[in-house]
Amino acid sequence: MRRDRRAYSTFELLIALSIIGLTTAIAAPRYFSSVRRSKLERAASLIAADLARARDNARAFGFDQTVAFSTERYSITTRTAAGTTSKTTNLTKDPFENAVAALRTGAANSVTFNQYGMPSNTIVIALRSGTVIRVLQVSEAGEVTLLDAAPAQAAIAANITDSAITAAYAAPVGPD
């Protein structure tokens, strides 16, 4: 008695593997770009929250609070009646690793909030990863906002430096 066994031919297996490979080749770059964009968004949100927290702590404790930036990290110095503490966040380590390629702050590298929550200066913070950029600003009133990144995206496409990007955001807007 002969049983009719059906199996896949080598050609059918090659077709199936090539379809899987093509799908992976198309989807993988988009997936990793999405992960990088998500990490960049998380880093921007964390910086915005930490700046707002420093401002609020200055008001609550009545002591100056400083947030200082470098190219890869930022630190928050919190002063209270009980003493001074410092917290440093490294944007090249987990959970942000490989997401933030550049952290630029223009002319000012730090901002200090006084006891009324007013900043010592305005500051523009640009986070960049490849062609994706997120820009935050601390206004003269101490408000922390996430700015429209379209001008920065155009500047990157035109090969303008990161310091020029932050300077463009720091320039006054509106009639003279």
* Token pair of 83 as six digits: 């003493």
Nearest to 99 by CA among 40, 33, 41: 40
Q: What is the pLDDT of residues 57-116, one digit of tens each?
A: 999 999 999 999 887 889 999 988 889 999 999 888 888 775 666 666 666 788 999 999
Q: Is the pTM of this model over 0.85?
A: no
pLDDT of residue 126: 80
| E-only strand ranges, the chain | 65-69, 73-80, 83-90, 102-104, 110-113, 123-129, 132-138, 144-147
Strand order in the sheet with 132-138: 102-104, 123-129, 132-138, 144-147
Q: Which CATH number fits domain 10-170: 3.55.40.10, 3.20.20.140, 3.20.20.70, 3.40.50.12780?
A: 3.55.40.10
pLDDT of residue 173: 39
Q: What is the pLDDT of residues 61-76, one digit of tens each?
A: 999 999 998 878 899 9
pLDDT of residue 174: 38
Domain ranges of the chain: 10-170
